[in-house]
Structure 1
Amino acid sequence: METSHWSTSRLLSTAARLNENRDNERLRSIGVTHSGVTILKVLATVGTMSQVKLARTVRVQAQTVGKALERLEARELVTRVKSDTDRRVTFVTLTDAGRLLLEEVQQGEHFTFGGEDFSEADLRAALVGVINAARDGLLASGASEQDLAATA
């Protein structure tokens, strides 16, 4: 694949697609999805939370997160418990098995560029820098925060 003449936008979108495909393949081999890993990461960071708040945090519909939680609960990666005071509220907790699986996923989050290894954190930091620089340039040229929010 000859990429030397590609625009930065095309390079970024191609890298994103290839990275997502690589991640999907790796996650499929251990039996989880991107949405499942996202949920596990949120619970590992925040702790127990209501299913509704979890859905808001990962920015999906409650029904969507419910389906993902069913799969995670079936594998005993999370537990769901109804509130004692309000049976409409369900609390979600990461299990020890969920923590172990998340550690396994995170150990595989390394990238090789030109023979050098970078952690996902390194790549994310570089991408955040690119995004912030592009955003700042657009704002300086007259774009509004609303215009930029619509593209995020």
Structure 2
Amino acid sequence: MHESAEEWPLGRLLSAAARAVERDWDERLRAVGLTHAALVAIDILLRTGPTGADTLARTARVQPQTMSRTLERAERDGLVERTPHPEDGRRRVVAVTEGGKRAWDTAQHIEREVLPDDPDLRRRLLQVLRST
């Protein structure tokens, strides 16, 4: 006998819903040549401007090695470019390309299709995040 989702504990329901949305979103992003990880990096760069990979990793709350792999693929796919830091040639600055901006625009449309914005849901999810 299968247990009805209506009977699940709230934590299980939230986790299952998040996985379902992420699965759908990831499939749609892949169809346009974009990964969720690259989208996160591009989103941060569009908000903060060009920056270093370490700063991106901290902001995204991932390990530097994870961000490095994400940026390598995103650069190969023409979504970002890495150039030498103007003051420290050992470091590199990451910036979004025009192709990355177009991909970000497309991803915004996809996200609204997968999960249309709901102000009440947004408020409640923010409450959950702030309380943990």
The interval holding the TM-score normalised by the smaller chain is 0.7 to 0.9
Partner of 2:74: 72
By how many angstroms is 1:54 displaced?
1.3
The alignment's TM-score, normalised by the length of structure 1, stands at 0.74
SS in 2 for 1:71: helix
Equivalent AA in structure 2 for residue 109 of structure 1: E
State TM-score, norm by structure 2.
0.84
- Distance in 2 of aligned mates of 1:118 and 1:128: 16
CA contact (8 A) 1:109 1:120 kept: no
Equivalent runs, 1:41-56 vs 2, <5 Å: 41-56=43-58
Compute the RMSD of aligned alpha carbons.
2.3
The 1:87/1:28 distance shift into structure 2, 3 A limit, reads same
Report if aligned partners of 2:25, 2:110 keep a CA contact under 8 Å in 1. Answer: no
When you count strand as a share of all residues, which structure comes out higher? 1
**2:107 aligns to what?**
105
List gaps (5 residues or longer) in structure 1.
Answer: 136-147
Larger Rg: 1
- After superposition, the Cα gap between the structure-2 partners of 1:79 and 1:18, relative to the gap in structure 1 and judged at 3 Å, is same
SS of structure 2 residue aligned to 1:91: strand
Any unmatched runs of 5+ in structure 2?
A: none
Q: Deviations over 1:4-32 (max 9, x none)?
A: 22221221111011111111111111122
1:82 aligns with 2:84: yes
Label 1:27 to 1:11 Cα distance change in 2 as closer, same or farther (>3 A): same
- Paired residue total: 130
- SS class of match (1:56): helix
Aligned match of 2:122: 124
One-letter amino acid matched to 2:123: A
* Distance change in 2, residues 1:110/1:70 (3 Å): same
Structure 1: distance between partners of 2:37 and 2:102: 17
Determine the C-alpha separation between the residues in 2 that align with 1:121 and 1:99: 26
Amino acid paired to 2:17: A
> In structure 2, the residue corresponding to 1:88 is in which secondary structure?
coil
> Which of 12, 16, 22 lines up with 1:10 in the alignment?
12
